[in-house]
Amino acid sequence: MGKEVQLKPKVNVSSYIHFLLNYRNRLKEQQPNTYLGFKEFSKKCSEKWRSISKHEKAKYEALAKLDKARYQEEMSHFVGKKKKRRKRDPLAPRRPPSSFLLFCQDHYSQLMKENPTWSVVQVAKASGKMWSTATEMGKQPYEQKAALLRVKYFEDLEVYRKQNHGMKKILAKNQ
């Protein structure tokens, strides 16, 4: 026997959709031989939805809340398929860091020395503030270094592509 497939839970439905389903069923009962096109039906439903009382809408909103609770409960137990990540070729050149990342690398150890109790998130926020308040002259060395690294990356990428052009299919099979 094969493995049992666990289907993803149905998404919760809004109060308006609950109303649509109910209204459609009532129309079918009242006029079984009448066919309404989608456009006409939608128009009729939206008019009816606008005209119903708040008390009646509250019923549908309660149904929507129950449905949302059901969906959240089912999703908490749902274990879906994990997406396979494409394996990175270890020989491929790595993308260069941005000027901001170069700035962060330079200032990370200094910020950690000054604030040893900070988390990585707090250091990142502080780095972001420092970067945004830095002058153009302060940013210029990082931008120049990033530009040089970007040029080198694209040169290396061209060389890599020329060397591995025939190997692409073999590499794809191994991954």
Write out pLDDT tens, residues 110-167: 998 999 999 989 999 999 999 999 999 999 999 999 999 999 999 998 888 888 764 5
User: Which DSSP category does 134 fall into?
Assistant: S
Distance of CA 61 to the CA centre of its chain: 27
Residue 90 has pLDDT above 90, yes or no: no
Q: Is the overall model pTM greater than 0.85, yes or no? A: no
Q: Can you give the pLDDT at residue 4?
A: 63
In the chain, the percentage of residues whose pLDDT exceeds 90 is: 49
* Full set of structural domains in the chain with CATH: 15-77 (1.10.30.10), 99-174 (1.10.30)
How many other CB atoms sit within 10 Å of the CB of residue 81?
8
CA distances (Å), origin 123, targets 114, 142, 175 = 10, 19, 36
3-class DSSP assignment, residue 31: coil
Average pLDDT (65-93) is 85
Average pLDDT (53-73) is 93
And the tokens for 23? 């209204």
Q: Can you give the pLDDT at residue 62?
A: 94
Distance of CA 43 to the CA centre of its chain: 33
Residue 99 has pLDDT above 80, yes or no: yes
Q: Which residues contact 19 (CB under 8 A, 6 or more apart)?
A: 45, 48, 49, 52, 57, 60
User: Which DSSP category does 63 fall into?
Assistant: H
On average, the pLDDT of the chain sits at: 86
How many residues comprise the chain? 175
Q: Considering only residues 101 and 38, tell me which one the structure prediction assigns the higher pLDDT.
A: 101
Residue 2 has pLDDT above 60, yes or no: no
